[in-house]
Amino acid sequence: MTIEVRIPTILRPYTAGEKLVSAKGATLQEVLNDLELNYPGMGERLIDESGLRRFINIYINDEDVRFLAGLQSAIGENDSITILPAVAGG
C-alpha cells in the first residue's frame, strides 16, 4: 500500500525539497527500503546496523514506533508516517 511520509528539513535535500512524499510497504522496514530506493542515501540517515538510529524518531500516526514494534511495525492503509530528528544535545 502507498502511504504518506513527512520528511524533516534536514532530509529534504534527498527529496528535492519535498516535505511530503509517498512510499510503499506493509511494515516500517519496507517503507524505509522504498524510501532508500527512490531517494538514495536517505536510508543510512535513518537506520544503522543496530536498527533505527538513536536520534531519529519515526511515528506512525501519533505513535512513536519505539513503543510499537520498531522497524517491524505494521503499516495500515490510512496510516501516515512522520520522521523527526531528535532535538537533543549536551
Partner 1 sequence: MLFSMLEIQRSLVDAIVAHARADHPDEACGVIAGPIGSDRPERLIPMVNAVRCPTLYEFDSMDLLRLYREMDDRDEVPVVIYHSHPATQAYPSRTDITQASEPDAHYVVVSIRETGPVEGPFEFRSFRIVDGEVTEEQISILE
| Alpha-carbon gap, residue 5 to 58, rounded angstroms | 10
Q: Beta strand 2-6 with 80-85: parallel, antiparallel or unpaired?
A: parallel
Considering only 16, 17, 49, 87, the residue that binds partner 1 (CB under 8 A) is 87
Find the binding residues for partner 1 in span 3-22 (CB under 8 A): 8-10
Binding mask 39-58 for partner 1 (x = CB under 8 A): ----------------x-x-
| Alpha-carbon gap, residue 32 to 5, rounded angstroms | 10
Nearest distance, CB of residue 32 and partner 1, angstroms? 18
Side-chain-facing half-sphere of 22: CA atoms under 13 Å: 6
Q: Beta strand 56-60 with 63-64: parallel, antiparallel or unpaired?
A: antiparallel
Tell me the residue type at 22. Answer: S
Closest CB to partner 1 among 12 and 24?
12
Nearest distance, CB of residue 12 and partner 1, angstroms? 10
Residues that bind partner 1 (CB under 8 A): 8-10, 55, 57, 59, 62, 64, 66, 82, 84-90
